[in-house]
Amino acid sequence: MPPLRSIAFVVNADKTGASGLARELLAAARQAGVRVKLTSRTRVPQGYLRGSDACCVIGGDGTLLGVAREAARWGVPIIGVNRGGLGFLTTFSADEARVHFADILRGRFRVDNRAMLACTVGRGPQELALNDVLIKAESSTGLLRLEVFADGELVTDYLCDGLIFSTPTGSTAYNLSAGGPIIHPAAKAIAMTPICPHTLSNRSVIFRENVCLRVHNRTPGARLLVAVDGQPHLAARLDLPVRISVSDRRLPLAQTVDYSHFAVVRAKLKWSGGFSEKR
């Protein structure tokens, strides 16, 4: 990557230590002659990243998700610095950010282009998801009967609390909590995981990346809530199908040159990682 000439900062000031770390990294960028701008709005306005060579997000994965659609729109790599919880997306710790930031400013990082989902309800606007699309009842209680089609072919109908459609990136989010599989980010796939299905035979289904999925609500009197990356963007009446596919847009995610996805998974999920052989 070429050296950075401009960098935008998105800082979640509610996260402990985020503001102090931002001041350090801003000073380093200015000292290197890089143009900077800063916002503490975690849902950045349209156009905020226009003209930026990179965006440094300091917060948790939720903060990064709030920037993802704008970053994908402008093709701006996100440098995610974790000041939240698990941090699968914000892969740099505060200490790692301090150590690697000078190299990042020189362009010494790699970019992993992550798949995103496109979701529409009826003829409504298209929304983008980096992690997942959740379909559930608009009310907090009640089972749903959802009918799923893949490229026009019936997959099955579910009696469940909802469905999660996940990218490989989002497979370690709600999908994992619901018993879904962990998928490597480079895999070209979509995972569909039912939430509390009322049959033991219903498990996650993995679809190829270029599939066109369609979900119909067959629950009399029930409306659907369609949440995109945890945000309840859309609502569907009984007669409006939900369409999900992989978007043409990708999220550029900045990583160190020696980044290892499985090292992150082992650390975040606290896997033991091996055994000692007795001699």
Which amino acids are annotated catalytic?
61
Hey, what amino acid is at 47?
A: G
- Distances in Å between the alpha carbon of 40 and those of 92, 95, 98? 19, 21, 20
Which are the contacts of 76, defined by CB distance < 8 A and separation ≥ 6?
Answer: 8, 49, 52, 53, 54, 55, 70, 252
Strand 78-82 relative to strand 127-129: parallel, antiparallel, unpaired? unpaired
> What phi and psi, each to the nearest 5 degrees, are found at residue 109?
-155, 165
CA 34 to centroid of chain Cα atoms: 28
